[in-house]
A and B are shown apart, each in its own frame.
Chain A
């Protein structure tokens, strides 16, 4: 059996239920692991050990009373994009370095009600803008599989904390791949639910028509349990869906008999890593062996335009959302200027990092007079075409499968000087956000890095809106036929 710190959350919950371990013991083990590893990995920005131990004691009492749910007493890392009442929430930015939210995000509130133990706040690219974790104002997170490489981003700390066995699971957010891509690069499971499934209340806004909260976990079953805990209607988010949340744990079955799987050919492009291509194709062949019908000829012709659509829409929404950081209500404030305007401009000059400024500038440009029709409106129209192509593909297929990213984890510094190359790392995850679909990344093998390290590869499964049950069914059957999720980095 795995050492305690590498147990899946549901396995840890079984031990708790049988009283073979206590939540306090799990929590202490997690902090021991953090102390041993996190000086180098840097997955956490803030640790909340005292509160965590109090939550663990409360959880142990709940378990003793027979009042426990599946996540009661399980230690979790929360991406620092989610507001946590009374606990510093930086969003990876200097501008929020000392911000203490007066309320909990809906998803955090739900986990607290479920009896979670919050270990702390996880590192991330500033304002969730990035694909490597290197845009954090507080320094990058390293990949537990190879410390010369990035863990992916923007949920970099969440992914590394789960991969390295510091947290049993984590919450992240995904605007263009920020849960699935780091999950893929870090060898874990990452779920982006359907847009509208999880309330965005208390999620620090980036691209409001794209942002979704979801779990990063060490098993598909764990992702299902966390999904069920955080999904559901919330009137404080006007885009929160009013649909009932399906019991996705009931969809977890060991075979794929009768499942119709489509493979979009545009997701196997020239220039992608050959080991990624072969590994993903082998995974799809294996799904056929589990009973699925595979259609290799699905076409989503607008895929090639999705990246441009995304990098117009997301920065446009970001430029509006980030207008709130004016140095007046909260956060960093420059006050030495001669005027209110100078103070505001300097606040934002010194408070924001390069990538955030770049995206605010892009969005401002795309929305400005004379350019709106050519950029923003055009992107919204192509967005419609991308959606329609997915709708058509789901007429005849239950799920689509594809790679998560064209490469495995890249080296620190490899793409920091070339924003467009960095953006291309999300080319296979972005269309899912544009169309508002649910998507999951699950481990499907490894490649060999040129320095001999083993680098995880992720398989992406995509379903139609609100059909998370099909997503989980496909993911679970593949996972159970393999042991990729049982392999952990040597640390």
Chain B
């Protein structure tokens, strides 16, 4: 089932990716084809098959809770697009 332009835009909004009208049209057809290809998985019998999230037999790896220094604040902030004092500066998030 092909995606509608509205579905493409909704999905882009969920992902917080702006798209031009041109991109919406292109992604609509390309993503529809790819999603169609995914339908082949519905043929596979996965009754009673557990999902695999990753391939290692490890769970909840813990390390000792010991304080140690982290990366220097100045080094971290050096890549900030906009900085104010020791903070990252962003637009107001509350209206």
What is A's interface to B at a CB cutoff of 8 Å? 99-100, 102-103, 195-196, 208-209, 235, 238-239, 241, 302, 304-305, 307-309, 311-312, 319, 323, 326-333, 335, 337, 339-341, 343-346, 348-350, 352, 354, 357-358, 360-362, 364-365, 368, 374-375, 377-385, 387, 419-420, 435-436, 465
Alpha-carbon distance A311/B56, docked complex (angstroms) = 21
- Secondary structure at the B interface, as helix, strand, loop or mixed, is loop
* Contacting residue for A383 out of B31, B38, B51, CB 8 A: B51
Alpha-carbon distance A354/B38, docked complex (angstroms) = 20
* A-B residue pairs, 4 tightest by C-beta: A436-B55, A349-B18, A380-B51, A333-B81
Q: By CB atoms of chain B within 10 A, which of A195, A308, A341 has the most?
A: A308
Docked-complex contact A349 and B53, CB < 8 angstroms: no
Chain A residue at minimum C-beta to C-beta distance from B33: A420
Residues of A within 8 A of B82 (CB): 333, 335
Q: By CB atoms of chain A within 10 A, which of B19, B38, B88 has the most?
A: B38
Taking A340-B91, A365-B31, A379-B41 as known contacts, 15 extra A-B pairs with beta carbons closer than 8 A to each other, sorted by chain A number, are: A100-B79, A239-B56, A308-B40, A308-B41, A311-B38, A328-B90, A345-B17, A349-B20, A361-B8, A361-B11, A378-B46, A380-B53, A381-B44, A384-B49, A384-B50
Alpha-carbon distance A186/B17, docked complex (angstroms) = 35
Q: Can you name 29 A-B pairs with beta carbons within 8 Å?
A: A102-B75, A239-B56, A308-B38, A309-B41, A328-B90, A329-B88, A330-B79, A330-B81, A332-B81, A333-B82, A339-B91, A345-B16, A345-B18, A348-B17, A349-B19, A349-B20, A354-B26, A364-B11, A374-B42, A377-B51, A380-B52, A380-B53, A381-B49, A382-B44, A382-B46, A384-B51, A387-B55, A435-B55, A465-B55
Shortest A223–chain B CB gap in Å is 22
* Contacting residue for B61 out of A238, A307, A358, CB 8 A: A238
Alpha-carbon distance A399/B51, docked complex (angstroms) = 26
Known contacts A100-B79, A209-B54; A420/B44 CB under 8 A: no
Docked-complex contact B58 and A239, CB < 8 angstroms: yes
Shortest A264–chain B CB gap in Å is 18
